[in-house]
Structure 1
Amino acid sequence: MKKQQERPTVITDAARSQGDQLRSREIRYVSMMALRAACLITGAVLISVRPPLLPLWLILCAAGMVILPWMAVLIANDRPAKTKAERAASRHQVDQRMIEPERAEQPPRVIDADD
């Protein structure tokens, strides 16, 4: 069986660095928390102004204050989806493990202090 040549990684196909991914998740988290704070402030202003349909506006503000933190945490902890190349590479590794027989592992060598 011929071994396939590995293709070089093109920089445009490379995944974003961990630092870049973390920074973008932090920005999304902070912006969603700022939107939550805006909902709180808007709710306080609405109570003092007493516009028409006040209960509806307050319900929307309260929903934003409850749902946004939950969504922010989920989004902040999520990593980007795998690219086609990453999925193909992981499939290839699984296929190789299935094709290659398991090598018999030797038991670890134990050295006693008495010897």
Structure 2
Amino acid sequence: MKRQAYRPILITDASRSQDDQLTSRQRRYVMMMGVRVACVIVGAALVGTRAPLLWLWLPLVALGMLLVPWLAVLLANDRPPKDRHRLANRFRAGQQTDAPAMSLTAEERPHKVIDGEP
């Protein structure tokens, strides 16, 4: 049997921490809700000033007020996708995955032999 070389796990392959992911999702949600507030304010200003082409702008603003919160909730509850380079080594087309770096059979593991007789 061919012995596999020890492959250390690189920290660059580690995913972002849960706190970092949560913070970025919260920021994205707050920004998208800010866009919704801006749509409400713009819609109120358009109606108040009786802007030209009101029939065009009002449905666009209303669509923004309805679509943005829905997207914000979906994106806030979604995990970021896994990087392709992290999965490239594990799933090769038509091949089975390699054994983990630290899983060696008993014969392949380095071990000490203690002899009881002098």
TM normalised by structure 1 equals 0.69
- What do residues 49-81 of structure 1 show as CA deviations (whole Å, max 9, x unaligned)? 111101111111100000001110111111111
Query: CA–CA distance in 2 between the matches of 1:96 and 1:13?
Result: 17
| Mapping 1:1-115, distance limit 5 Å | 1-2=1-2, 4-83=4-83, 84-86=85-87, 88-89=89-90, 91=91, 95=97
The alignment partner of 2:9 has SS state of: coil
Q: Which runs of 5+ in 1 are unaligned?
A: 98-115
Deviation of 1:87 after TM superposition, in Å, equals: 6.0
What RMSD, in angstroms, separates the aligned Cα atoms of the two structures? Answer: 2.3
**What is the identity percentage for the equivalent residue pairs of Structure 1 and Structure 2?**
54
Query: CA–CA distance in 2 between the matches of 1:12 and 1:32?
Result: 30
The alignment partner of 1:16 has SS state of: coil
Deviation of 1:15 after TM superposition, in Å, equals: 1.6
The alignment partner of 2:15 has SS state of: coil
What is the aligned length? 95
Change in Cα spacing, 1:6 to 1:68, as seen in structure 2 (3 Å) is: farther
Query: CA–CA distance in 2 between the matches of 1:3 and 1:70?
Result: 53
- What do residues 19-56 of structure 1 show as CA deviations (whole Å, max 9, x unaligned)? 11110010001100110011011101110111110111
Change in Cα spacing, 1:52 to 1:6, as seen in structure 2 (3 Å) is: farther
TM normalised by structure 2 equals 0.68
Q: Which runs of 5+ in 2 are unaligned?
A: 100-118
More helix by share: 1
